[in-house]
Amino acid sequence: MFRSSAFSGATHGFAPGYVQGNLAILPATLANDFLRFCQLNPKPCPLIGMSPRPGDPSIPELGADLDIRTDLPKYRVWRNGELAGEPLDIRDAWRDDLVAFVLGCSFSFEEALIEDGIELRHQACGSNVPMYRTNIPCAPSGPFRGPMVVSMRPLKPADAIRAVQITSRFPSVHGAPVHLGLPEGIGIKDIAKPDYGDAVEVKADELPVFWACGVTPQAVIAAVKPEFCITHAPGSMLISDLKNSRLAAL
Amino acid sequence: MFRSSAFSGATHGFAPGYVQGNLAILPATLANDFLRFCQLNPKPCPLIGMSPRPGDPSIPELGADLDIRTDLPKYRVWRNGELAGEPLDIRDAWRDDLVAFVLGCSFSFEEALIEDGIELRHQACGSNVPMYRTNIPCAPSGPFRGPMVVSMRPLKPADAIRAVQITSRFPSVHGAPVHLGLPEGIGIKDIAKPDYGDAVEVKADELPVFWACGVTPQAVIAAVKPEFCITHAPGSMLISDLKNSRLAAL
């Protein structure tokens, strides 16, 4: 359906149980530095698949017949850091030197939390998860550097403990929280004013719980302003053939 | 050394790496209800060994030649809820109807935390861990009922997350924390005034982290005022032949 451009919207709720991922496509001249950036910062940048070689649009580990140029609902093409278009496929923009990276996303661990009976405020509100720039620096690699961005979910303390247990099983989709309870400790001055997404209420009997977020590599790439780069359009993720449960470390 | 009564003090720091346990010895008339109480409340009452039958002073699962009447440094004998003596062995007090229960203690998970590089405030201060009665009711069994008692360790948020991961591996020594960050949520009005143990400072960049505590069954038994009962003297634990690492669930 995505390959034929019959659908160009958000993938949330599609193919429950299957891993969805963030897409970043970079020229080969930047790919090695970005790959090392992911390896140095696995919590915000959990790499779950990449091109076998520059110019190859397949990612066999994520789907037998996957073509990264057509199989997302919508893309964003960037030139020198400026948005240059939002095509529904990128066959016209494809180049022999491009390398695609797919990074795990929070949909997978949110599914595990919900299945355990933990309610997620932003979903109950029908809004985007609130995200914040922190004062936690990512380990730099070449031109890629910047602060970790985190997503926040308010949870009662017992649910926060359970959420640490559940998400620790999923290191390839951001894993355990990086922080909880004291926003100012990671440089968040006002929890009611997220840098991305929508604010949600943190009730008096709840703690804000913070996970490393896939917006981190997006913000880091944006700061580099590569001469050319392609990402998924917000919310229009790659849906893989992998089951979320197969990402569980134990 | 304990069997010969050559030492009658605290066991903290003895036999590093080996499981230490809390002791409760009850008449058979109460033993079934207490056993069920432990099964219903595994976090505060993690049973790691018990008498094979009433009157049998061995506990083979905790030590090949263990004699529960002689192998702790010091005991407390209670009659109708009143302290009746602190003998160094209990062969004189032993009866054919007594059943011994050994419950896991926090020494095992504290060792795992320290090995991971997490500093424990009460140990740094050379004081006893602070403990609090909560408003969390234990599931009752026969005459055994009452609130959960918790121990508290102040930790920085990232260490608190790591501590959840580490202690989750050890369900038979209290396991994961039951609460963190919001003392009033479990009925603790003043963190500076523990009900047992010594107060420790919670710094501005730390969260109080609460674990179910082995004082819970002691307080519950004390409230029942059994006609006869024997416990370890505070700090004078049973040292078993089990390695702490063997208690790890994974």
Read off the CATH number of the domain in which B130 is found.
3.30.2040.10
Q: Render pLDDT for B111-135 as a digit per residue (tens, 0 to 9).
A: 999 999 999 999 999 999 999 999 9
**A162 and A196 housed in the same domain:** yes
Q: Render pLDDT for B205-223 as a digit per residue (tens, 0 to 9).
A: 999 999 999 999 999 999 9
How far does A237 lie from chain B, in Å, by closest CA? 29
Mean pLDDT of chain A: 96
Assess whether pLDDT exceeds 90 at residue A250: no
Do the beta carbons of residue A28 and residue A97 sit within 8 Å?
yes
pLDDT band at B249 (very low <50, low <70, confident <90, very high): confident
What is the distance between the alpha carbons of residues A211 and A154, in angstroms, rounded to a whole number? Answer: 11
Percentage of residues of chain B with pLDDT beyond 90: 94
Mean pLDDT, residues B22-37: 97
Do the beta carbons of residue A129 and residue A181 sit within 8 Å?
no
What is the distance between the alpha carbons of residues A6 and A8, in angstroms, rounded to a whole number? Answer: 7
- Owning domain of residue B78: 18-105+217-247
**A83 and A94 housed in the same domain:** yes
Q: Render pLDDT for A187-222 as a digit per residue (tens, 0 to 9).
A: 999 999 999 999 999 999 999 999 999 999 999 999
**A133 and A179 housed in the same domain:** yes
**B212 and B232 housed in the same domain:** no
Contacts of residue A158 in chain B, CB cutoff 8 Å? 178-179
What is the distance between the alpha carbons of residues A162 and A19, in angstroms, rounded to a whole number? Answer: 22
Please indicate, yes or no, if residue A6 is contained in any of the structural domains.
no
**B195 and B211 housed in the same domain:** yes
Please indicate, yes or no, if residue B44 is contained in any of the structural domains.
yes
How far does B187 lie from chain A, in Å, by closest CA? 12
Mean pLDDT, residues B70-81: 96
**B211 and B225 housed in the same domain:** no
Q: Render pLDDT for B142-188 as a digit per residue (tens, 0 to 9).
A: 999 999 999 999 999 999 999 999 999 999 999 999 999 999 999 99
Cβ–Cβ of B178/A158 closer than 8 Å? yes
Cβ–Cβ of A179/B158 closer than 8 Å? yes
pLDDT band at A165 (very low <50, low <70, confident <90, very high): very high
Helices (H), chain A: 28-40, 106-115, 121-124, 157-168, 215-224
Please indicate, yes or no, if residue A170 is contained in any of the structural domains.
yes
Do the beta carbons of residue A37 and residue A217 sit within 8 Å?
yes
**B23 and B91 housed in the same domain:** yes
Mean pLDDT, residues A113-120: 95
How far does B34 lie from chain A, in Å, by closest CA? 26
Please indicate, yes or no, if residue B5 is contained in any of the structural domains.
no
pLDDT band at B42 (very low <50, low <70, confident <90, very high): very high
Give Rg (Cα) of chain A: 17
Mean pLDDT, residues A122-145: 95
pLDDT band at B250 (very low <50, low <70, confident <90, very high): confident
Contacts of residue B152 in chain A, CB cutoff 8 Å? none
**A211 and A128 housed in the same domain:** yes
pLDDT band at A249 (very low <50, low <70, confident <90, very high): confident
Please indicate, yes or no, if residue A27 is contained in any of the structural domains.
yes
Mean pLDDT, residues A37-48: 96
Instruction: Take residue A53 and report the two structure tokens written for it.
Output: 């070689």
pLDDT at A226: 97
**B152 and B127 housed in the same domain:** yes
**pTM for the full model?**
0.91
Contacts of residue B250 in chain A, CB cutoff 8 Å? 250
Please indicate, yes or no, if residue B10 is contained in any of the structural domains.
no
Contacts of residue A207 in chain B, CB cutoff 8 Å? 180-182
- Say which CATH number the domain at A84 has: 3.40.1640.10
Q: Render pLDDT for A60-111 as a digit per residue (tens, 0 to 9).
A: 999 999 999 999 999 999 999 999 999 999 999 999 999 999 999 999 999 9
Do the beta carbons of residue B232 and residue B8 sit within 8 Å?
no
Please indicate, yes or no, if residue B11 is contained in any of the structural domains.
no
Q: Could you give phi then psi for residue B132, rounded to 5 degrees? A: -140, 140
**A198 and A101 housed in the same domain:** no
Q: How many CB atoms lie within 10 A of CB A225?
A: 13
Residue position matching structure tokens 């009005």: B189
Percentage of residues of chain B with pLDDT beyond 70: 100
Touching check for A249 and chain B: CB below 8 Å?
Answer: no
Q: Could you give phi then psi for residue B135, rounded to 5 degrees? A: -95, 15
How far does A242 lie from chain B, in Å, by closest CA? 25
Mean pLDDT, residues A116-125: 94
Cβ–Cβ of A176/B161 closer than 8 Å? yes
Please indicate, yes or no, if residue A5 is contained in any of the structural domains.
no
What is the distance between the alpha carbons of residues B174 and B87, in angstroms, rounded to a whole number? Answer: 28
Domain count, chain A: 2
**B89 and B119 housed in the same domain:** no
**A47 and A101 housed in the same domain:** yes
